[in-house]
Structure formats: C-alpha cells, structure tokens
C-alpha cells in the first residue's frame, strides 16, 4: 500500500471518536458546578461519573434537557452511569453539587459520550476489495488501543481513590499519634508534680516536729 494511503488510514482511525469528553475537576465545599453539551434530537448520550476523593465520596447530580425537563436527579451518589436519548435538540445541562458539605471538597471524574461510535472499518470508507494486511492490522491496533485506554482510565481512578483514602487515613493516624503523645507528656508531668507534692508535704511535717 502506498505511504499516502497508509497515512490516510491512520488519520481516519485517529479521528474516529464520538463527541463529548472526559474531565476530572475539583468541586469545592458548599459549591455547585455545571457543564453544558449540545445534543441533537434522537441522539443517544451516556454520562458516567465517579467521586475520586473527599468526604464520603458523594455528590449530587442533576441533568436537565433544553426545555427544562429533569432527566436525571440523585443525591449523595459515589458513582453512577445514565444513558438517555435526546427528545429535543439543544444544550443539555448537568450540574454537580457539593452544597450539602460544609468543609470538605471533592474531586470528581465524569465521562460524557454523545452519539454511537462507528466501527473503524466504516470510517475508512467502502472497499471494493478485501482489506489489505496493513489495513487489517491498523483496525486491530485501533480497537486494542481503545480497550487499553478504558482499562487505564479505570485503574487510574481506582489508584487515585485508593491513594486519597490512604492519605486521609495517614493524616488521621498522625493527628491521633500527636494527641496521644501530648497526653502522655501531660500525664507524666502531672505524676511528677503529684510525687513532688508528697515529698514537699513530708519535709514540711518533719520541720514542724523539730
């Protein structure tokens, strides 16, 4: 296959993506953040989210259509996935809320996919003959890369969530250890003062008898 044709095939595979995207953001305490996506009528979309760190790992989510209809609403969710088909064309709004939290901020990840992803073979155009070995290998590599990306995202989120939990636990253990150390020191000082008062009282009585 010619180099130019090979390059075209690669670009077709790279551009074979759906609209939407994924984002990891920080949601402050007592705050609310909204995102917007234009969805055509009859197009299916999927929103998946997960709280990575912060508090009890939960947020409120509300998804509304362009006409104001609430498509999805739930409170204090750690993770969830919602799929819908747009009944009207326009801007769909989904808002993450941490307003119920007074002092803990959250780190939230979401992935929005709009439309059905076409197979890589269709993006390459119609073939009058069977695909060459290079084209077949390119399609296989592309499909494998998509699976690798999905696995990497999944494990990255689990690693971030586990690291956040470990850091939070380590901070609590540190504060507990410092508190115990201070308490032991205070008890030791108290015992020394009590013992010293015993000896002071005994010495005073001896001088009085003399």
How many folded domains does the chain comprise?
1
Would 194 be classed as within a structural domain? no
3-state secondary structure of 87: coil
Phi, psi of 116, deg, nearest 5: -85, 135
Residue 200 within a domain: no
Is there a domain that residue 182 lies in? no
Report the predicted TM-score, pTM, of the whole model to 2 decimal places. 0.61
For the chain, where are the E strands, in sequence order?
19-27, 32-39, 44-53, 59-64, 70-77, 79-85, 90-97, 106-114
In a domain, 187, yes or no: no
Q: 27-54, pLDDT tens digit by residue?
A: 998 999 999 999 999 999 999 999 988 8
Residue 208 lies in a domain: no
At 118 the pLDDT is: 58
Distances from the Cα of 168 to the Cα of 50, 61, 77, 118, angstroms: 18, 25, 20, 43
* Residue 167 to residue 175: CA distance in whole angstroms: 12
Q: Tell me if 172 is assigned to some domain.
A: no
Residue with tokens 């989904």: 94
List, edge to edge, every strand of the sheet that includes 19-27: 19-27, 106-114, 44-53, 79-85
Q: Using an 8 Å Cβ cutoff, are 50 and 111 in contact?
A: no
Q: For residue 98, with 0-12 CB atoms within 10 Å meaning exposed, 13-18 middle and 19 or more buried, which class applies?
A: buried
Supply the range of the domain harboring residue 84: 3-163
Walk along the chain (210 residues) in steps of 10 and give the mean pLDDT of each run: 36 40 87 92 91 87 93 91 91 93 88 73 53 76 79 77 80 90 91 82 59
CATH code, 94: 2.60.120.380
């Amino acid at each position: 296959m010619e180099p130019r044709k090979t390059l075209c095939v690669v670009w077709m595979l790279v551009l074979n993506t759906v609209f939407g995207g994924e984002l990891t953001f920080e949601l402050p305490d007592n705050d609310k953040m909204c995102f917007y996506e234009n969805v055509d009528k009859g197009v299916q979309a999927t929103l998946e989210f997960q709280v990575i760190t912060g508090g009890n790992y939960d947020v409120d989510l509300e998804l509304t259509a362009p006409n104001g209809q609430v498509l999805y609403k739930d409170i204090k969710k750690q993770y969830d996935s919602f799929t819908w088909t747009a009944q009207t064309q326009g801007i769909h709004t989904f808002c993450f809320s941490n307003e119920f939290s007074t002092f803990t901020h959250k780190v939230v990840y979401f992935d929005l996919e709009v439309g059905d992803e076409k197979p890589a073979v269709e993006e390459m155009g119609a073939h009058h003959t069977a695909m060459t070995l290079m084209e077949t290998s390119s399609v296989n590599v592309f499909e494998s890369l998509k699976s690798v990306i999905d696995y990497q995202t999944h494990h990255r989120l689990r690693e971030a969530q586990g690291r956040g939990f470990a850091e939070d636990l380590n901070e609590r253990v540190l504060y507990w250890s410092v508190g115990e150390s201070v308490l032991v020191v205070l008890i030791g000082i108290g015992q020394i003062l009590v013992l010293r008062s015993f000896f002071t009282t005994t010495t005073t009585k001896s001088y009085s008898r003399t």
